[in-house]
Structure 1
């Protein structure tokens, strides 16, 4: 999309089809927020919001940021809105290996290492793995080398027919969960690389039925899952994990905003016992 500044305030020209106004309108409609509701949140008027969206009024830099905040627009997309409105980006995008990120790197690495023996990893906005602990390395045992060439991608490793997919007992259910998660992220971030990754992994072959259909009864004595587990084979055992994803609160940097720490909590006592036996 080309960057075209919106029309000047008070202009009587026809509604613009490019510029920041239509982009803001798209985010508002995606969030299912009315012009009046957005105006009340942002301390403005529905009339002014309407003028901004149609290009009749050029919003200030402060107004763009305020509307983006109340629409929960991702940090990277807030910069895009500012550029389209004719302003400089507000949020930096600092490489993770920059010296200023040293405390962040150390903190995240200590976090996932402290989670051992349970698996944990850190991914970016396109699910490339930036850090992983020994629990993840254990799950990746036996994966072909060509899938382990950096940058590792969590979605590709999980769903590729030569990756973890053949060992995931409830692959169809877990695949549906992952694709739905990616679909939500695409709607939120509107990322072409993420869309390309989605199309790639969605095209991977999938079995007609899971080894353990989602509707099967639990074995006698098993603990019923409290969330959808990933049930995966490892050295003749079936391990069960519940996934949890954590992100940073109120990030002020694009890189930090797109980091996610994913941890895998054992979903049954047998998995807990087995992982601790490996650690000892």
Structure 2
């Protein structure tokens, strides 16, 4: 059985190039090289320099974790550390993330790793999670599992069809980019969840039917028409319909695998009613 560890650097680079849909000529043009040299590297006739490995990895958008694998396959030492987040050297990073999340309150914000496990969350996120069953809150908390599980947030999401489709498409893009086995396993788990009680089930495309949580009025009053700039998350909390637009931030030019795989998701209120309600809950 062939594993990534047993492949040559040329074979690994060819795999990444083909994943990106680039020809040797296109990659050579981007990396200021020649198609002949790229061919020699891929076939093992030429050993690339450390700088060339990193340059090709950059143009192929290879994740930081896999750049280390390329360097090792080429006979070089790994360039990027993989420091546990609870390591003392990460104190400044952790404190900065906690300050950022706290400053964003009362609006929800969360930090997740490469498989959507929660690293840190603020009180806005905890507010949305109120009343969830204990088995979903047993660690490690996972954002995708909490959101799409039929006993999690899914029954509270008013536009579940669209939001579920958005999340699954997001995971598919990440799997295509990184080919992560743990992320693929998570995708297969959450995409197979049955619809929450009260919905009409899945359509032919695997999306939830409208059911009790389709568009329309919530409670006794009509939903105010709002022109959204992006797909909103429309979620019920304690009899109120809240609307959020999601924004995801990552670290620029990370030099550590752990840092490279962190993502900060903030939920920006998408209408005045959501702003007013969340501010009314703030201490």
Determine helix, strand or coil for the equivalent of 2:5: coil
Match of 1:169 in 2: 158
Match of 1:72 in 2: 61
Q: CA–CA distance in 2 between the matches of 1:220 and 1:194? A: 36
Match of 1:3 in 2: 5
| Aligned pairs for 1:222-261 within 5 A | 222-261=225-264
Work out whether 1:47 is the aligned partner of 2:36: yes
Match of residue 175, structure 2, among 186, 205, 218: 186
Match of 2:130 in 1: 141
1:25 Cα deviation from its structure 2 partner: 1.6
Q: CA–CA distance in 1 between the matches of 2:75 and 2:134? A: 47
Q: CA–CA distance in 2 between the matches of 1:223 and 1:120? A: 23
Count of paired positions: 266
Deviations 1:4-31 (A, max 9, x none): 4xxxxxxxxxxxxx42212212222222
1:212 Cα deviation from its structure 2 partner: 5.4
Distance 1:238 1:113, change over 3 A: same
Deviations 1:189-227 (A, max 9, x none): 11111110000000101243224547x79x675222211
Distance 1:199 1:68, change over 3 A: same
Match of 2:206 in 1: none
Q: Is residue 36–residue 46 contact of structure 1 (8 Å, CA) maintained in 2?
A: yes
1:57 Cα deviation from its structure 2 partner: 1.9
1:88 Cα deviation from its structure 2 partner: 2.2
Q: Is residue 232–residue 238 contact of structure 1 (8 Å, CA) maintained in 2?
A: yes
Residue segments in structure 2 that go unaligned for 5+ positions in a row: 202-208
Q: Is residue 222–residue 268 contact of structure 1 (8 Å, CA) maintained in 2?
A: no
Match of residue 30, structure 1, among 19, 33, 37: 19
1:86 Cα deviation from its structure 2 partner: 2.9
CA RMSD of aligned residues (A): 1.9
Residue segments in structure 1 that go unaligned for 5+ positions in a row: 5-17
Q: CA–CA distance in 1 between the matches of 2:108 and 2:47? A: 49
Match of 2:8 in 1: 19
Q: CA–CA distance in 2 between the matches of 1:221 and 1:239? A: 11
1:242 Cα deviation from its structure 2 partner: 0.8
Q: CA–CA distance in 2 between the matches of 1:83 and 1:197? A: 28
1:84 Cα deviation from its structure 2 partner: 2.4
Distance 1:237 1:221, change over 3 A: closer
Give the ranges of 4+ consecutive aligned residues of structure 1 lying more than 3 Å apart after TM superposition.
211-214
Deviations 1:27-84 (A, max 9, x none): 2222233322322332321101011112222222222111101212110011111222
Deviations 1:146-169 (A, max 9, x none): 111121000000011111011111
The TM-score, its normalising length taken from structure 1, stands at 0.90
1:116 Cα deviation from its structure 2 partner: 0.4
Match of 1:264 in 2: 267
Q: Is residue 182–residue 198 contact of structure 1 (8 Å, CA) maintained in 2?
A: yes
